[in-house]
Homo-oligomer: A and B are copies of this chain.
Amino acid sequence: MPWMTQTATSEARPYHHGDLSRALVEAARRILETEGPSALSLRAVAREAGVSPAAPYHHFKDKGELLDAVAHEGWAALDAALTEARLKAADSQERMTGLGVAYVRFARDNPALYRVMYDCSRDKDALPEQMKEEGAYCQVRNTIDERSGGTASPIDLELATIAAWCAGHGLAEMISFKQFDPLKEALGGEEAFLRGVFEHLGMFAKLDQA
């Protein structure tokens, strides 16, 4: 770790940063959550990291590549949040709702990051590949599979996973609209509201059988 031999004070950064890549991504996240996605320019990120506007070009080809890195970190953080929720749940019913609540909470706590994640995906018309192979989406699929006792056909399993994912994403985007405040209050808080919506996602099927 060569830069540690530097006798810099805590304020004065050495000429060579040491890990500017990571510092830039962190600076980007700081800007996102304090000023929102519209403030996320390359220059602003460099400024926030205390570095000249040209410095990022030694680490990222262009602005898009930096944004991709930010989004990638976002997906990893979402994976982690879902894993934590999955491990905490007692049974498979609770595991399913818990995943949903954790997903929505992640989006609510990191709204700007969440938007960048999906904006990057949209630009490519594709969600991150690793999400389907081993990431967040895969955790949802496994939980559903486990819940059905492994009896669901591959196509049904995939459709159910997409359905759950859509519901989570939709709710994540709706949760902050103030129209729903009265309902949240009537139910005694946001968490109860979330659980209520997730439970009602089965309502149509119930009606079919009535």
Instruction: Enumerate chain B residues within 8 angstroms of A183, measured Cβ to Cβ.
Output: 155, 158-159, 162
Task: Say whether B174 contacts A126, CB under 8 Å.
Answer: no
Copies per assembly: 2
Indicate whether A60 reaches chain B with its CB closer than 8 angstroms. Answer: no
Instruction: Enumerate chain B residues within 8 angstroms of A125, measured Cβ to Cβ.
Output: 176-178
Question: Interface of chain A, helix or strand or loop or mixed?
Answer: helix
Instruction: Enumerate chain B residues within 8 angstroms of A180, measured Cβ to Cβ.
Output: 162
Least Cβ–Cβ distance between A133 and chain B, in angstroms: 11
Q: List chain A positions with a Cβ less than 8 A from chain B.
A: 93, 96, 118, 121-122, 125-127, 129, 132, 144, 147-148, 155-156, 158-160, 162-171, 173-174, 176-180, 183, 186-187, 196-209
